[in-house]
Amino acid sequence: WDHEGIDHWKIDDFEAKDNPHGLLEESSFATLFPKYREKYLREAWPLVEEVLKQHNIKCKLDVIEGSMTVSTTRKTWDPYIIIKARDLIKLLARSVPLEQAKRILEDEMACEIIKVGNLVRNRQRFIKRRQRLIGPNGATLKALELLTGCYILVQGNTAACLGTHKGLKQAKKVVVDTMNNIHPIYNIKAMMIKRELANNPELTNESWERFLPKFKKVNIKKKKVKIEKKEYTPFPPPQTERKIDKEMASGEYFLKERDRHFMKRKERQVKQAEAKENRKRKREALFTPPAESKKKEKNVKKADSVDVTALKEKIKKAQVKKKKTKV
């Protein structure tokens, strides 16, 4: 039986003839489902029964209790199919459609429901990171499905993954990293490079570290706000006034209900009148013309009297200079 032609890693198919006597004990699993899944499960339950009947598994839907139960029968010959059926009802409870969930009954398929709600404490931060995993119009999730070969559904505080064991490992890493504030595009880029490198037979025995991108985590330093220390006083701070104390000080507490209501309405009207005036002033300010800047008049000195003698001497000097230049 042991020779060079035998593949020791090959897994043989398990068929009904391998276990003709069936199972000794009845095994059953039950899981709860949320209220919003009741309508879909009622409609799809005949199809669920038909799918499980092929593997000799019986199932029960309890709408009053809100649970689904699967159990083996005397005709069940596969001992592991009950575990697969348990995973099927878990996926159905987490909003996975039956068309995808029934693939878990295949031999090479596995599933994992990742609880992502506990990974992030802040609710708003969790919603942002969950949306980052899904991407715009589900583009990021679709890219992950194509690269890992898994079906991924993000629903509430969980992410359901369905696929091969290798694909599940990759998908879980991306989901957990995204919740730990590592953008999924980094993992997608690394997975695409690995896929291309796997096609090259020359790099099978070499390290791929030099081809993979390295991303450094940058911490942006926040400015520290200096807190001024107050002077130490042995006396405790004054007690804050209650609402009744303020009403007693203003005299409002001793008024009747009708007078109190009238007083509050009067204060409200005064505030509304002030706000109305402010709005009116702002509207009118838009239509007021800007102040024109006055141009400064240049001081031009006008010569009222001309010195004739000085002018004649100036002309004579000029004529003398011209004659000298000609000579």
The chain-wide mean pLDDT, for the chain, equals 88
According to the model, what pLDDT value does residue 304 have? 52
C-beta of residue 168 within 8 angstroms of C-beta of residue 144: no
Q: Which residues contact 241 (CB under 8 A, 6 or more apart)?
A: 249
| pLDDT 10s digits, 244-287 | 888 888 887 888 888 888 888 999 999 999 999 999 999 998 88
Pairing type for strands 67-72 and 110-115 reads unpaired
| pLDDT 10s digits, 82-125 | 999 999 999 999 999 999 999 999 988 999 999 999 999 999 99
Strand, helix or coil for residue 324: helix
C-beta of residue 156 within 8 angstroms of C-beta of residue 106: no
**DSSP symbol at 62:** E
| Distance (Å, whole) CA 76 – CA 55 | 7
| pLDDT 10s digits, 167-226 | 999 999 999 999 999 999 999 999 999 988 888 888 888 888 888 888 777 777 777 778
**Average pLDDT rounded to a whole number, residues 137-145:** 94
| pLDDT 10s digits, 221-246 | 777 778 888 888 888 888 888 988 88
**Average pLDDT rounded to a whole number, residues 298-320:** 71
The CA-CA-CA angle for residues 149, 153, 158, to 5°, reads 125
